[in-house]
């Protein structure tokens, strides 16, 4: 493979087929991405877990989009977070953030998420019998509202955050000027929010991150800005894709949809299967090797850029029975959609909670929900990291 084609493919079926073909052709590949960067791409499930925990695989800011054109202060303001850090810095940052972003805080959000979901579905129902773009009407506003309320973003700024984050997440496909303008504006907004919360703290995540201490240690200004930057973008983009991709997948598999409607308790295993089958993320964040890395029977040399094709690893026939079959009752489902090892997604419990509520509420509210055009394949955003749709038109009745 030489062109990174799954990352530019905008047809859902073609993209999934490309990732399945990747893993079938071997667990490790040398590729050149559409950005021109040569990469060692790991596609096997066991090999992905090995790569993501290998001591010679480290995070490096050299793989920040448009790195050579990005001012150093902007790099530090957006990448001094735990996802871009190595031990011991990673250990320190994760400990501080985990003290505030707790499982208890996430669980306490459930009533509010249900309230938001019900209100949004009321608005969806009021649109009448014509086609509804489920992404703009429900799939996007639910996660963006949840993460913004959690962090402490004023409601007036949420649409702006959404537009800017989409530009940032598709950075490699954007021009330098467009990408840097979006990053700069996001940092300005976050720094202003920090100033406001320092003066008038509240019961939100940002106030908690400003105040958190561990034996006198606290987050620096760049660490604080970077963590909010990461939480706002990763905290909603992936969940938007999980919800919208999941609804599309269910509607394309009517027997699975019928099983879930018949037994709503299957929603937990359904979410896990939807994360595996057509998850919200295509690849892991790029890293580099600081020594030789043996993966399977391949030795990746020092100084190489490495990535895992998570979408391929989730379709590895050596790990999953009938990997190209969607089965919401699948019990042995150790997918790697949220990563593996020390960088396993801290927000995974929140994404799962939002998805369970979204699928349960949506299917319960609209028993005749169906695709507006069953034969049309909704376009996906081209890009390296995320697996998301541009829109999803459905009929409610």
pLDDT of 161-176, one tens digit each? 888 888 888 777 788 9
What is the distance of C-alpha 33 from the center of its chain?
20
Instruction: State residue 381's pLDDT score.
Output: 77
pLDDT digits (tens, 9 = 90+) for 350-361: 999 999 999 999
CATH homologous superfamily of 5-395 equals: Cytochrome P450 (1.10.630.10)
- Name the band, by pLDDT with cuts 50, 70 and 90, for residue 385: confident
Tell me the pairing of strands 293-295 and 298-300: antiparallel
Tell me the pairing of strands 305-308 and 38-42: parallel
pLDDT digits (tens, 9 = 90+) for 68-126: 888 999 999 999 999 999 999 999 999 999 999 999 999 999 999 999 999 999 999 99
pLDDT at 6 over 80: no
CA distance 9 to 7: 6
Q: Which of the residue ranges 19-23, 84-88, 262-266 has the most confident prediction, judged by mean pLDDT? A: 262-266
Instruction: State residue 379's pLDDT score.
Output: 83
Extended strands (E) in 248-350 = 287-289, 293-295, 298-300, 305-308
pLDDT at 10 over 70: no
| Mean pLDDT for the stretch of residues 27-41 | 88
**Residue 389 in contact with residue 125, Cβ under 8 Å?**
no
Instruction: State residue 2's pLDDT score.
Output: 40
CA distance 239 to 199: 31
Domain coordinates in residue numbering, the chain: 5-395
Q: What single string gives the DSSP state of each residue in 140-205?
A: THHHHHHHHHHHT--GGGHHHHHHHHHHHHTGGGS-HHHHHHHHHHHHHHHHHHHHHHHHS--SSH
Instruction: State residue 1's pLDDT score.
Output: 39
Q: Which of the residue ranges 9-13, 26-30, 33-37, 157-161 has the most confident prediction, judged by mean pLDDT? A: 26-30
In 3D space, the residue among 360, 392, 367 whose CA is nearest the CA of residue 114 turns out to be 360
pLDDT at 378 over 80: yes
265 to each of 70, 113, 237, 329, how far by Cα in Å?
48, 19, 26, 11
181 to each of 79, 163, 308, how far by Cα in Å?
16, 12, 29
pLDDT digits (tens, 9 = 90+) for 301-324: 999 999 999 999 999 999 999 999
The pTM of the full predicted model, rounded to 2 decimals, is 0.92
pLDDT at 209 over 50: yes
Instruction: State residue 159's pLDDT score.
Output: 83
* Helix, strand counts (H, E) of the chain: 16, 10
């Amino acid at each position: 493979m030489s062109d990174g084609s799954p990352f530019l493919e905008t047809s859902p079926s073609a993209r999934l087929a490309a990732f399945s073909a990747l893993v079938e052709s071997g667990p490790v590949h040398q590729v050149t991405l559409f950005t021109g960067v040569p990469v060692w791409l790991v596609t096997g499930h066991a090999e992905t877990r090995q790569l993501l925990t290998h001591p010679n695989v480290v995070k490096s800011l050299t793989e920040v989009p448009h790195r050579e054109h990005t001012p150093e202060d902007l790099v530090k303001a957006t990448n001094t977070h735990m996802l871009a850090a190595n031990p011991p810095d990673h250990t320190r940052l994760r400990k501080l953030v985990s003290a505030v972003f707790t499982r208890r805080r996430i669980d306490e959000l459930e009533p509010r998420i249900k309230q938001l979901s019900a209100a949004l579905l009321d608005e969806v129902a009021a649109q009448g019998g014509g086609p509804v773009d489920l992404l703009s009407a429900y799939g996007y506003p639910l996660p963006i509202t949840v993460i913004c309320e959690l962090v402490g973003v004023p409601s007036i700024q949420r649409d702006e955050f959404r537009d800017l984050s989409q530009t940032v997440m598709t950075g490699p496909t954007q021009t330098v000027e467009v990408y840097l303008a979006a990053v700069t504006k996001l940092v300005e907004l976050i720094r202003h929010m920090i100033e406001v919360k320092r003066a008038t703290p509240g019961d939100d995540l940002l106030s908690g991150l400003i105040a958190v201490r561990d034996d006198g240690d606290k987050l620096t200004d760049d660490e604080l800005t970077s963590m909010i930057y990461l939480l706002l973008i990763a905290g909603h983009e992936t969940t938007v894709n999980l919800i919208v991709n999941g609804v599309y997948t269910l509607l394309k598999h009517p027997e699975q949809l019928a099983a879930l409607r018949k037994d709503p308790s299957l929603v937990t295993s359904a979410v896990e299967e939807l994360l595996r089958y057509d998850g919200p993320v295509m690849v892991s964040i790029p890293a580099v090797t600081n020594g030789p890395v043996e993966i399977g029977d391949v030795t990746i040399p020092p100084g190489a850029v490495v990535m895992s094709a998570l979408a391929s690893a989730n379709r590895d026939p050596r790990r999953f029975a009938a990997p190209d079959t969607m089965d919401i009752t699948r019990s042995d489902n150790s997918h790697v959609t949220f990563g593996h090892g020390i960088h396993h997604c801290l927000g995974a419990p929140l994404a799962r909670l939002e998805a369970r509520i979204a699928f349960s509420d949506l299917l319960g509210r609209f028993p005749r929900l169906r695709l507006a055009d069953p034969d049309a394949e909704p376009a996906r955003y081209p890009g390296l990291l995320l697996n998301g749709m541009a829109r999803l038109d459905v009929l409610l009745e």
